[in-house]
Amino acid sequence: MDALMLDGNAVAGLLQEVFGAEMTTAIGTCAACGASAAVGAVHVFRGAGVVLRCPNCGSVLSKIVKRQTQVCVDLSGLRALATDGVEGGELSL
């Protein structure tokens, strides 16, 4: 594990703030390689924002940036995000 890398559990609070539900147990599917894993298992890098990367291929799954009163979220690296905490159970991205 890289010294600057954390796992998805490190941003559990931020993810709950964004999605309004516990997200570390949600299953994300990488748009690049098709691998599925719990959000808590993704690789997280912090800087000016937060970058979540696929633990299988390293592709960017999501970027989250907080600025003043806004939270900007890019989920373009996810093919799907499935959780029991969201009505319908799956967000198709």
pLDDT at residue 48 in the model:
87
Determine contact, residues 11/25, Cβ cutoff 8 Å. no
**Predicted TM-score of the model (pTM):** 0.84
For 31-63, the pLDDT digits (tens) are: 999 999 999 999 999 988 999 999 999 999 999
> Tell me, what's the pLDDT at 92?
46
Q: How confident is the model at residue 1 (pLDDT cuts 50, 70, 90)?
A: low
